[in-house]
């Protein structure tokens, strides 16, 4: 996340009357493809979406609609980053507000970087997108330097790389520590989960 991002300056997002209004995954993907040219960034969002959805189903006992909310938040959280780096994530938030999308999805996107956007994660969906965002990218960077990519990748090697400041230096370790302090799962558990889900995302 760029240090030049502006705080959003508000903590209420969307309209409670729009609860339950979701985009279809097809519409969200179309928006993504229209707004984002960079394949790496598109992949990042598909990865976070897959991890969010899987977590909702496995750990939060989410039904289909709730799992889709988690997935959509992941899929769109950086949709405006390429075109509007200084107004990330204000532009995608305003777009979803205009489309009358469920406020929980919008709040989740707004809370994926509390230090940057000035929005505190409230519920578990908010907290998990914050946890997964940086770690997902870090684990993918770790996979890319391995000849076998995700195959045979273990938690220990990722933990070791996290302690090497020069590796994927743009990934802020303080954000990872802060995000984990807000949940009851260990860093090792989260890394294991991300590796397991993310290896299947194309």
Tell me, letter by letter, the H, E, C secondary structure of 120-157: CCCCHHHHHHHHHHHHHHHHHHHHHCCCCCCCCCCHHH
CB 195 → Fe ion: shortest distance, Å? 18
- Of the candidate spans 28-36, 74-82, 95-103, 171-179, the one that interacts with Fe ion by CB under 5 A turns out to be 74-82
- Of the candidate spans 18-26, 27-35, 60-68, 78-86, the one that interacts with Fe ion by CB under 5 A turns out to be 78-86
**Closest to Fe ion by CB, 78 or 104:** 78
Q: What three-state secondary structure class fits 175?
A: helix
- Of the candidate spans 34-42, 102-110, 131-139, 142-150, the one that interacts with Fe ion by CB under 5 A turns out to be 131-139
CB 78 → Fe ion: shortest distance, Å? 4
The residue from 46, 47, 73, 78 that contacts Fe ion (CB under 5 A) is 78
Q: Which residues of 103-141 are buried (b: 16+ CB within 10 A; e: fewer)?
A: bbbbbbbbbbbbebbbbebeebbbbbbbbbbbbbbbbbe
**Closest to Fe ion by CB, 38 or 65:** 38
Q: What is the CA radius of gyration of the chain?
A: 16
Q: Does position 175 bind Fe ion by CB under 5 A?
A: no
CB 8 → Fe ion: shortest distance, Å? 12
- Name residue, tokens 């489309």: 99
Q: Does position 134 bind Fe ion by CB under 5 A?
A: no
> Residue 88 burial (CB < 10 Å; 0-12/13-18/19+)?
buried
Q: Does position 133 bind Fe ion by CB under 5 A?
A: yes
CB 91 → Fe ion: shortest distance, Å? 12
- Of the candidate spans 56-64, 72-80, 91-99, 179-187, the one that interacts with Fe ion by CB under 5 A turns out to be 72-80
Tell me, letter by letter, the H, E, C secondary structure of 176-198: HHHHHCCCCCCHHHHHHHHHHHH
**Closest to Fe ion by CB, 82 or 192:** 82
Binding site for Fe ion (CB under 5 A): 78, 133
């Amino acid at each position: 996340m760029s240090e030049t991002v502006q705080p959003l300056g508000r903590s209420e997002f969307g309209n409670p009357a729009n609860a339950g209004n979701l985009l279809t995954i097809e519409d969200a993907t179309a928006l993504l493809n229209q707004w984002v040219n960079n394949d790496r960034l598109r992949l990042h969002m598909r990865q976070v979406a897959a991890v969010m959805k899987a977590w909702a189903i496995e750990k939060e006992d989410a039904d289909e609609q709730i799992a889709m909310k988690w997935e959509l938040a992941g899929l769109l959280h950086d949709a405006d980053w390429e075109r509007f780096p200084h107004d990330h994530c204000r532009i995608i938030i305003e777009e979803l507000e205009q489309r009358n999308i469920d406020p929980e999805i919008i709040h989740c996107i707004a809370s994926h970087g509390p230090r940057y956007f000035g929005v505190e994660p409230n519920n578990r969906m908010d907290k998990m997108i914050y946890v997964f965002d940086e770690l997902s990218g870090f684990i993918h960077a770790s996979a890319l330097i391995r000849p076998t990519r995700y195959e045979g990748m273990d938690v220990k090697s990722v933990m070791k790389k996290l302690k090497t400041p020069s590796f994927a230096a743009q990934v802020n370790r303080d954000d990872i520590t802060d995000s984990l302090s807000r949940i009851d799962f260990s860093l090792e558990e989260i890394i294991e989960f991300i590796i397991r889900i993310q290896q299947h995302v194309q």
